[in-house]
Chains A and B, each alone.
Chain A
């Protein structure tokens, strides 16, 4: 991989770092803030499983993100990812759990507008519909799970200290699952943009195992997310873990479980294949906002508990971040593309855009597109 390619991918790495810094809170925020799991342990577990999820389960949602708009030149991918990364980092600095999924949609639409490429309305409807359904589903799962757990505990009469130990173990296990689901679902936001212009080739590892170019790309993205979690994830955890609603360790467990179920539903290709075999309607494979899912789950637990109400002021602040982030990403992408194309004289769109939207597959396109890489 050349230095130039690495430079272009660096914006994806930055976006991955931003995602990690911002989204660690969705996975381990409640566990860390309720002092059930140490931040260091949470960051290591999340980092490992996010990377695994990205490499082994990230292909499904990438297809959808590329249907929205196939950013087919590396300089274009770089600019979009950078603009989105800056928007997410800014929100992280403001301690707002922002949605990277929404920001990336803003970024791609910004690229489409700048390059005059069509925006696939079906894909955008599919994505936007999940912005409504995912928090609702998460709230529903959290509500049901919390009531079930509460009833079970009342009947089982387990000692408070044992509940504490089970909850601690549960938070770690569910946190690891949620990290895997986060990596699988959200890697499309980080590296999906680079898939149509991926510089990596498939590597055969022996025993029939192939490490595809896309997986190599996703490994880099996954590691970037892991580093983001480890270096800056603690900031947003305060907002999710304590400001919005005072989460107890047990309700924290329910929140993360509900979130990971929703993320799994919207990213599992296995589940999709199973539903197809059973002739049932499939769930769209869309990169979801784990932030929305977690906030939905927190509200669901709040409803089940009927005690202290959710802090509506903080909820409003978070929701405002969800609107601001895609708009900011769209605007920043548009302006950045203008500069990259006209000041730095880089091609932000391939000379001949693909007629049909590109679809990410295991095999990455051979070579780099665009005249920038021409000798």
Chain B
């Protein structure tokens, strides 16, 4: 019996650690973008490396959790939903890492007047991912709170879209090469994808929570 609870605790800790990686990844991403915009390339690259490390760690944790849940036939009723949630949450971290990597590879030239807007855009998108993680944590402990997190994710997603639109409007009304405009749009679209993926996770989360209430 003690072994049963020990294993349960271990998986529980792994899930928490996995979700921590997503939250911390978001914070590192925010800092990374800020460093990029401030031209602090060394710090930016350090943050990118850190983020990639986090993504790898999260992947390993997710695989461990998946195999533990299957091998020990834990939560047979909700296993499918939990695995689906963890996998789709992993995509959020993947998009976050890919986006920062694109900054490093493509070195987009963002006009100074959209810097603050870009920081706000990143802020909203990361808020989405943080509340998604909050929602997943609530799914495990406090189902009633899931709804609050989902509502916040939806709100921040709308804000992300609004901010991305503002950036695009600003850029496309500016005198600059079309290729550069498209490049900036491409980057705002990438950040938007973080919020969109977080929203997709919340759709799954909402269904999983309803199933638990059944």
Please give the residue numbers on chain A whose beta carbons come within 8 Å of chain B beta carbons, in ascending order.
Answer: 34-36, 154, 157-162, 164-165, 168-169, 248-249, 305, 307-308
Contact = CB atoms under 8 A, between A and B. Distances in A.
A162 B11 CA distance: 10
Interface string B25-40: 0000000000000000
A159 B12 contact: yes
Contacts of A305: 214
B140 A159 contact: yes
Given A162-B8, A165-B4, A169-B4, A34 B77 contact: yes
Contacts of B78: 160
Contact of A249 (B77, B141, B142): B77
Contacts of A158: 141
Nearest to B5: A165
A157 B4 CA distance: 20
A161 B75 contact: yes
B74 A164 contact: yes
A12 B143 CA distance: 51
Given A159-B140, A162-B12, A308-B214, A35 B4 contact: no
Nearest to A163: B75
Contacts of B141: 157-160
Given A162-B8, A165-B4, 7 more contacts: A35-B76, A159-B12, A160-B78, A160-B139, A160-B141, A161-B8, A164-B74
Interface in B63-108: 73-78, 82
B8 A165 contact: yes
Interface of B is mostly: helix
Contacts of A164: 8, 74-75
Nearest to A158: B141
Contacts of A308: 214
Contacts of B75: 160-161, 164
Which of B4, B8, B144, B214: most chain A CB closer than 10 A?
B8
Contacts of B1: 169
A263 B143 CA distance: 35
Contacts of A36: 73, 76
Contacts of A34: 76-77
Contacts of A159: 12, 140-141
Interface string B137-150: 00111111000000
A168 B4 contact: yes
B104 to A, nearest CB: 38
Nearest to A247: B77
Which of A162, A164, A249: most chain B CB closer than 10 A?
A164
B76 A249 contact: yes
Contact of B214 (A165, A168, A307): A307
A165 B77 CA distance: 13
Contacts of A35: 73, 76
A351 B39 CA distance: 110
A261 B1 CA distance: 24
B143 to A, nearest CB: 8
Closest 5 CB pairs of A and B: A35-B76, A165-B8, A307-B214, A160-B140, A164-B75
A353 B142 CA distance: 67
Given A36-B76, A165-B8, A249-B77, A157 B214 contact: no
A174 to B, nearest CB: 14
A249 B78 CA distance: 11
A168 B7 CA distance: 13
A248 to B, nearest CB: 5
A154 B145 CA distance: 11
Contacts of B139: 160
Nearest to B142: A157
A74 B5 CA distance: 52
B134 to A, nearest CB: 14
A161 B214 contact: no
A299 B1 CA distance: 31
A307 B210 CA distance: 11
A154 B141 CA distance: 9
Nearest to A305: B214
Contacts of B4: 165, 168-169
Which of A34, A157, A158, A308: most chain B CB closer than 10 A?
A157
B213 to A, nearest CB: 8
A261 B140 CA distance: 31
Contacts of A165: 4-5, 8
B83 to A, nearest CB: 13
Contacts of B77: 34, 248-249
Nearest to B6: A165
Given A154-B144, A305-B214, A161 B11 contact: yes
Contacts of B12: 159, 161-162
A65 to B, nearest CB: 38
15 contacts: A35-B73, A154-B143, A158-B141, A159-B12, A159-B140, A159-B141, A160-B75, A160-B78, A160-B82, A160-B139, A161-B8, A161-B15, A165-B8, A169-B4, A249-B77
B76 A161 contact: no
A164 B76 CA distance: 9
A161 B78 CA distance: 10
